[in-house]
Amino acid sequence: MYGGELEPVSIQLNHEQIWLAQQNEWFYSSILDLNLNGDVQQVLLRDIQRHPFKQLIMHIDFQRVSANQKLSAAVPLHFINEEASPAGKSSEVVVTHELNEVQVVCLPKDLPEFIEVDLGALEVGNVIHLSEIKLPAGVEIPELKLGKERDVAVVAAKHVRIQEEDAAGEEGSEGAETK
């Protein structure tokens, strides 16, 4: 555990509790209250290292947070209403999620567990960019301050074209192509 005005410290945690907690999305994008012998400190998970094939956590980095200091964190995106959208209803459309999370800057009290991206109005050919995501109050995407070229696609709805086999009988693989 490091950060804040205190010295870094090595701590040992109950492996079973941490293993269960790390299976939840909130563990990765929430401010956690870490109770160390009665001293509760607010921390943010910064790194987790797992054994390559055993169900074993080898190391975790927690960063202390200060209530009045902005922090940077990766927050997952939740896509809603995709099936109800015009693009989602069509069997000839592929909706691709280009990003699954976004880096945000905010005060600890404003850190969202996730950000919803409403796809209800998504139509064929539409692209939703970072700048179009509705953010909670107090939350910013620093990437957008670096210029318009950083406003990348988050979701795209592309029409699928089926390639037919050659009429001359040439063997080929049938596949799908997006345009």
Fold of 71-162: RNA Polymerase Alpha Subunit; Chain A, domain 2 (2.170.120)
DSSP run (H or E) holding 154: strand 153-162
Residue pLDDT, tens place only, 53-75: 999 999 999 999 999 999 999 99
3-state helix, strand and coil shares in percent for the chain, rounded to the nearest 5 = 15, 40, 45
Domain ranges of the chain: 15-64, 71-162
CATH code of 15-64, in short, is 2.40.240.10
Higher pLDDT among residues 163 and 171, named by residue? 163
Q: Would you place residue 88 in the very low, low, confident or very high pLDDT band (cuts 50, 70, 90)? A: confident
Alpha-carbon gap, residue 141 to 104, rounded angstroms: 5
Q: Would you place residue 162 in the very low, low, confident or very high pLDDT band (cuts 50, 70, 90)? A: low
